[in-house]
Amino acid sequence: MKRDPDHKRGARLARHLSRELEVPLDAVTLLPHIECTGDRELTVDGHRGILEYSDSRIRLSGGRLIIVITGQELELTGMTAERARVAGEIRGIHFDH
């Protein structure tokens, strides 16, 4: 998928603001923040909902991108409107646009 020039301009501005304000990039964008604890737990802050859920694959909306978590015995162990916590044998994390 091709990115439009406005998207690139917006990404540059977000990186610039992040540097100048000395805050994490996710604080000035609508991108989700993802933290992993080894290969057993993953927390996504700023998700926008569940798109797919099984014990081997979980897809979460992250706005412009989709977060795909693959593994075995996956389960959502906690979820709020903004945070999702996944536990199990996490084998992969990738992003779809």
Q: Write out pLDDT tens, residues 81-95.
A: 989 999 999 999 999
Is 68 found in the same domain as 43? yes
Is 83 found in the same domain as 66? yes
Count of all residues that appear for the chain in the document: 97
Is 42 found in the same domain as 84? yes
Is 18 found in the same domain as 1? yes
User: How far is residue 57's CA from residue 46's CA, in Å, rounded to a whole number?
Assistant: 19
Is 17 found in the same domain as 54? no
Is 82 found in the same domain as 37? yes
> What is the CATH number for 79?
2.60.40.2000
Q: Per the structure, how many domains does the chain have?
A: 2
Range of the domain at 82: 31-96
CA dihedral (6, 1, 15, 65) in degrees, to 10, reads 120
Would you call 60 exposed, middle or buried from its count of C-beta atoms within 10 A (0-12, 13-18, 19+)? buried
Q: Write out pLDDT tens, residues 13-69.
A: 667 666 776 766 655 556 788 999 999 999 999 899 999 999 999 999 988 889 999
